[in-house]
Amino acid sequence: MTEQITNDDFIFPKYHAISVDKTHFFYLCPHPKKVCPSLVHFHGSCGDCETNRIENRGSHCKGETTNVDVCIDNGTLRKCLAVRGNSLTFKKYK
């Protein structure tokens, strides 16, 4: 018997990037604290903070079992995000 590969294998959870700068893009963790203690996850932005796109990444999130798609669109702030505890601060990037 051969194992079937279905389309579902290629459908990843989709999240919206809240901000992107030249180093990272950031998205809010959708999972409860008891599943994942992180408020925000971030990945390298490959130096591109301008282009709207979807980035597929292996998540560091404890609530994810697959890669995730993170959408960078017109609603994504072009700013650096600083996370301290439960507070988020957006800063201008240079």
Residue ranges that bind Zn ion, judged by CB under 5 A: 29, 36, 38, 61, 63
The smaller minimum CB distance to Zn ion, of residues 13 and 63, is found at 63
| Minimum distance of Zn ion from residue 76's CB (angstroms) | 18
β-strands 80-84, 40-44: how paired?
unpaired
| Minimum distance of Zn ion from residue 28's CB (angstroms) | 9
The smaller minimum CB distance to Zn ion, of residues 50 and 62, is found at 62
Please name the residue ranges forming H helices in the chain. Answer: none
What letter would DSSP give residue 39? S
Contact 88, 57 (CB under 8 A): no
